[in-house]
């Protein structure tokens, strides 16, 4: 999984640094434990499709998901609600990233 240099990558780097600094402090301090817990929880959250890869790579994954599973009718696609197709790609982008196949 490759994070691009954007919000996700920068926040992840910052959290890893904060976690490292906090771990070097007094781990019996409740505030330090709270910081470590918050960092762990945030770092364990799954990446979304929009967090991984370049715009071109994301587009390729979306198209593979779409065309391999749901085209031409989009029937059964879980990213379409109320038969509206115009924003399905936004819903796909927010779904958790998986190495194979895009979203869960």
Q: What is the pLDDT of residue 30?
A: 92
Q: Is 102 exposed, middle or buried (0-12, 13-18, 19+ CB in 10 A)?
A: buried
Domain around 77:
50-103
The pTM of the full predicted model, rounded to 2 decimals, is 0.64
32, part of any domain:
yes
34, part of any domain:
yes
2, part of any domain:
no
84, part of any domain:
yes
For the chain, the average pLDDT equals 82
Omega before residue 72 within 30° of 0, cis: yes
Geometric angle at alpha carbon 70, from 49 and 94, rounded to 5°:
20
1, part of any domain:
no
E runs forming strands in 1-104: 97-98, 102-103
SS3 97: strand
Identify which has the larger pLDDT, 6 or 102: 6
* 88, 57: one domain: yes
* 97, 54: one domain: yes
* 58, 96: one domain: yes
The stretch 11-35 carries a mean pLDDT of 90
Number of domains in the chain: 2
In the 8-state DSSP scheme, what is residue 50?
G
């Amino acid at each position: 999984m490759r994070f691009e240099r954007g919000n996700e990558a920068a926040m992840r780097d910052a959290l890893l640094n904060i976690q490292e600094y906090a771990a070097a402090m007094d781990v019996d301090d409740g505030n330090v434990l709270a910081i470590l817990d918050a960092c762990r929880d945030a770092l364990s959250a799954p990446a979304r499709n929009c967090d991984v890869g370049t715009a071109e790579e994301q587009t390729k994954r979306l198209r593979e998901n779409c065309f391999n599973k749901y085209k031409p009718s989009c029937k059964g696609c879980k990213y379409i609600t109320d038969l509206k197709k115009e924003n399905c790609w936004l819903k796909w982008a927010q779904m958790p990233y998986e190495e194979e196949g895009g979203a869960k």
